[in-house]
Amino acid sequence: MTMKNVDRKAALAAYKEIKVEAGIYSVKCLPTGQVWLGSAPNLAKIQNRIWFSLRNNGYPGRSLQKAWAEHDASDFAFEIVDRIDEEADAYLRSAELKKRLAEWLEKLHAELV
């Protein structure tokens, strides 16, 4: 076995051990106080995805994209609102995300991302 194969196997094993955390997140426009909520199966990656889309004027949510265009990027804050315990069944995890998102939308009087 070559050193390259050993490195690849170690990297693959490390990747498989990374815990993916699902949950509810918020994006807030600090000057206006507007809040948008969303859910994600992987909270570690969602902010980069949203910010990339907003910077490139390609975010599907019109309200958030409009606010982004009217303000500076530093006027927005990203926050994890709620984390979902790791569920073995993807269906249960998805159902829990939907339920909690609805609860948080009502509680914070926010818009959907």
- Is residue 34, in this structure, part of any structural domain at all? yes
Q: How many domains does the chain have?
A: 1
Per-residue pLDDT in tens (0 to 9) along the chain, 113 residues: 566 777 778 777 766 666 789 999 999 999 999 999 999 999 999 999 999 999 999 999 999 999 999 999 999 999 999 999 776 688 889 999 999 999 999 999 999 99
- Is residue 9, in this structure, part of any structural domain at all? no
pTM, 2 dp: 0.82
| CATH code for the domain of 44 | 3.40.1440.10
- Is residue 104, in this structure, part of any structural domain at all? yes
Look up the domain containing 75 and give its range.
25-112
- Is residue 91, in this structure, part of any structural domain at all? yes
- Is residue 95, in this structure, part of any structural domain at all? yes
Output the six-digit token pair for 15. Answer: 């990747």
- Is residue 3, in this structure, part of any structural domain at all? no
- Is residue 14, in this structure, part of any structural domain at all? no
